[in-house]
Amino acid sequence: MIVIVDYGMGNLRSVEKAFLKVGIDATVTSSPLDIEDASAVVLPGVGAFRDCMRNLDNLNLLAPVLRSIEKGKPYLGICLGLQILFTESMEFGLCRGLGVIKGKVVRFPQMGLKIPHMGWNTVKLRRIPPVFDGIADESYFYFVHSYYVAPDKDEVIAGTTMYGIEFTSMIWKDNIIATQFHPEKSQQLGLSVLKGFGEFVRRA
């Protein structure tokens, strides 16, 4: 069972519908027990880092999500689901994250470009994670964000994107795959990513 973690933020139903469109059952849940029992965890989200961490904590979801990752269950993070993996965020003051990936979440610098970074942009592949099988380098995906992740170690970076600066737009470490872009909003290629995650779960 693939679960989509419902912590009161983000476009959960559109993620669920996108999975269904590629023939994969994924259940939206806010139950800690469902997360414990799941074979894979998807954590999407749009909004503020601090609110995300607070909501997960208030719903007693932080521990089961962490345990799932530590047990090696496939994890797909989307947008905030990528950012909260990191040690800390600078959004609205310092806030601790899950600390699964060492590094920070930082705001785009002032560089004459509109913030948030919103719309279609390319992903330059450094490594090809399982969910990207058959997807060409520098394919376009849909982004909406004002902050980006800055890993301490480059080895976790799977893809980067240019928006005034080059930033990390996808990571891959063992069972963890996470994207700054939104597969559920990225039309056919985004659906291919979700289908690839289903295959990744099946092989796990």
What DSSP element (H or E) covers 169? strand 165-173
The residues annotated with a catalytic role in the active site are 79, 182, 184
Q: Whose structure tokens read 């959004």?
A: 91
Residues recorded for the chain: 204
Per-residue pLDDT tens for 15-52? 999 999 999 999 999 999 999 999 999 999 888 899 99
Contacts (Cβ under 8 Å, ≥6 apart) of 83? 49, 52, 77, 89, 97, 105, 147, 149, 180
Q: Max Cα separation, the chain? A: 47
Q: Model-level pTM greater than 0.95?
A: yes
CATH code for 2-203?
A: 3.40.50.880
Per-residue pLDDT of the chain (204 residues; tens, 9 = 90+): 999 999 988 778 999 999 999 999 999 999 999 999 999 999 998 888 999 999 999 999 999 999 999 999 999 999 999 999 999 999 888 999 999 999 999 999 998 999 999 999 999 999 999 999 999 999 999 999 999 999 999 999 999 999 999 999 999 999 999 999 999 999 999 999 999 999 999 998
- Using CB atoms within 10 Å of the CB of residue 50, give its burial: 0 to 12 exposed, 13 to 18 middle, 19+ buried: middle
Number of other residues whose CB lies within 10 A of the CB of residue 20: 12
* Distance spanning both ends of the chain, measured CA to CA: 12
